[in-house]
Amino acid sequence: MRIFRRPRISGTAVVAALCAVVPVGIAGAQPHGERDGKVSLTVEACSDSFESSLREILRIELGELLDETGTSTADRESIGIACEPELARVSARSASGTQLVHNDLRFDAFPGDAAPRAVALAALEALRAVDPTLAKRLEAQRKKAAAPEAPPPKPKAPPAPPPRRRVSTTDVAVRSHTRLAAGGVARFFLASPQTTALGARVELGFRFAAPWDLGFDIEGAFARQSVDLGAVEARLLSTAAWFGARTGSAAWSLTAALGGRLGLAALRGTPGDLSALGHDVLRPWAGPMLVVRGDGAVDPLAFALMVEGGFAAIGAEGLANGAPVLAIKGGWVAVSASAGVRF
């Protein structure tokens, strides 16, 4: 039978082991006070007026803790804000880099100049999530600022603050995009005899980042008038181009534009009996026009309602027994509604 003895550990060995461990623990710890305690701020892709209001609010809330130089170090907390057409990307990172909190916010939920304030509050919430001591640090900063200094220096007259602008969600950068849509159209020629043509339209539009819109369309329409001798029909095929100024936001807009329309009218006489003769003729029609349109969008869908007014300087008439019964000439008014996609 074997006998096992527990090894004896001397007091000298224990002391030596503790001496070896303690310095390592002290060297690995870094007190919080060695950091400068600043909070870095970076703002990307936001309009100048929006960024100015945002920085002013954060400057008031964070005071000396805010560093606006845009530099970020590994041992410093940071706030990042990036503007998109309808969304603000908000994030906060802890000083250790182990915590990252996102608190994104939509602009269309806040009217007028409430947008930069809402984004600033969202950034502060994200910062509190990664730094639970933020409230105590802000309170200590306020008490330090409120403490009287002896002797107090004579205050200098502060410079006049710059005039504040109203900031709305339309100040956020508007992206350019292309629209492709189709819909129905009703066209009314006002010259006597008044003629109504119904049809369909396909349009291609371009929205620029600047407040301007450009559009093209191809339209087909049909008009018919019955007479004693039979009927007179008109098949209209035309194309138009227009360019105008736009106001509104990324979700909706109103555009007023000038342009022109050029087309062909195929006129056909259909006799009611053998006592009459029918003829087919092809005539051009064209003229300048004024366009007023409203556009709405729920990405990627786009909707539009357009009113068009113009004057056919070149036109055509459909005759029956020598008298006009269809008139594709003079002033016109057209109304169209369309739906499609934008990209």
One-letter amino acid of 220: G
Q: Please give the angle made by the CA atoms of 340, 177 and 212, to the nearest 5 degrees.
A: 105
pLDDT at position 171:
43
Distances (CA, A) of 231 to 175, 325, 328: 51, 9, 16
Secondary element (H or E) of residue 33: none
Q: What type of residue is 336?
A: S
Give the span between the Cα atoms of 251 and 154, in whole angstroms.
52
16 φ, ψ to 5°? Answer: -65, -40
Mark the ranges of the chain whose per-residue pLDDT is less than 50.
Answer: 1-34, 167-173
Whole-number pLDDT of residue 19: 36
- Looking at residue 73, its pLDDT comes to 65
Within 13 Å and on the Cβ side, how many CA atoms surround 155?
4
Domains of the chain: 37-146 (3.30.160), 177-342 (2.40.160.20)
CA-based radius of gyration for the chain: 37
**Whole-number Cα distances in Å, 237 to 184, 200, 240, 335:** 14, 10, 11, 16
Each residue's pLDDT tens digit, 37-80: 788 888 888 888 888 888 898 888 888 888 877 666 667 888 88
Q: Residue 324: is the preceding peptide bond cis (ω within 30°)?
A: no
* CB distance 81 to 88 below 8 Å: yes
**DSSP state, residue 336:** E
Q: In the chain, where do the E strands start and end?
A: 39-44, 66-67, 77-83, 87-93, 100-102, 105-106, 177-189, 195-207, 212-227, 230-248, 252-271, 280-298, 301-320, 323-342
Q: Which ranges of the chain would DSSP assign to H, the alpha helix?
A: 11-28, 48-62, 114-130, 134-146
